[in-house]
Structure 1
Amino acid sequence: MKAFFAGICLLFSAFVSCQQKGGDFKSISTDEFAILIADPEIQRLDVRTVAEYSEEHIPGSINVNVLDEQFAAIADSTLQRDKPVALYCRSGKRSKKAADILSRKGYTVYELDKGFNGWKEAGKETEK
């Protein structure tokens, strides 16, 4: 019960600290990301290439390649603007770019700081 309460507190503090104007997003640790995506209202977004996503990804995530010229338009047609987005790439570089784009469009965005590599190193669940 304590762990659940701590998770809720962490989630609440993350939401409060991210209520910022466009262009702002929060980079979070692997453990914070895991707590955040436990909430079914959080949209999970993998911004790597289709090939990378096909090899392995975080369960429940959808794939929109940030390197695609139409990334913003595809994301807009795929995501719900009124629900937070938790996104990641391989190492954290592309996800910061995607987080900046989406936050400027009005999304509340959380970015996995060390990317999918950090997620796997932490022994978190993946799927193929």
Structure 2
Amino acid sequence: MSILSNLFKRNTDTGAIKVLDREAYGKAIAGSKINLVDVRTAKEYSSGHIKGAKNIDLFQKEAFNKAFSKMDKEIPVYLYCQSSMRSQKAAKRLVKMGFVSVFDLKGGYRNWNH
């Protein structure tokens, strides 16, 4: 059982990633010091984004890594994309980079606007 629990834990542990609904996410980003990041493309970002969000495109891997490497890993990061698919990938990448608290907007920007 010990071996199975350890394997199971490693495979399902998302580290510090938490998915928040629109209401909880909105309250959280209005609060203390955070990093709010839109991981969509620049075109998507320019068509509308959450106020105060910085655009760091997940698909621009080198620029993505460089931008996040300059951030304090102890400050919570709030991510979103259009539907939560890219932001989940970004969240996993950030946990591997050593970020302590990563939050994702459930349903993405599409959910934010409705």
Q: RMSD of the TM alignment (CA)? A: 1.6
Give the length in aligned residue pairs: 100
Bigger drift between 68-77 and 92-101 goes to 68-77
Structure 2: how far apart are the matches of 1:31 and 1:87? 15
Q: Gaps (5+ residues) in structure 1? A: 1-20, 122-128
Among 23, 36, 42, the alignment partner of 1:31 is 23
Cα deviations by residue, 1:34-75 (Å, 9 ceiling, x for unpaired): 011011401100000011111110000101000112122222
Among 90, 93, 96, the alignment partner of 1:104 is 96
Q: What secondary structure sits across from 1:52 in the alignment? A: helix
Paired position in structure 1 for 2:3: none
Q: Gaps (5+ residues) in structure 2? A: 1-12
Q: What secondary structure sits across from 2:113 in the alignment? A: helix
* 1:89 shift after superposition: 0.2
Bigger radius of gyration, 1 or 2? 2
Structure 2: how far apart are the matches of 1:72 and 1:44? 16
Paired position in structure 2 for 1:115: 108
With the length of structure 2 as denominator, give the TM-score of the two structures. Answer: 0.81
With the length of structure 1 as denominator, give the TM-score of the two structures. Answer: 0.72
Structure 1: how far apart are the matches of 2:32 and 2:18? 19
Asked if 2 retains the 8 angstrom alpha-carbon contact of 1:45 and 1:61, the reply is: yes
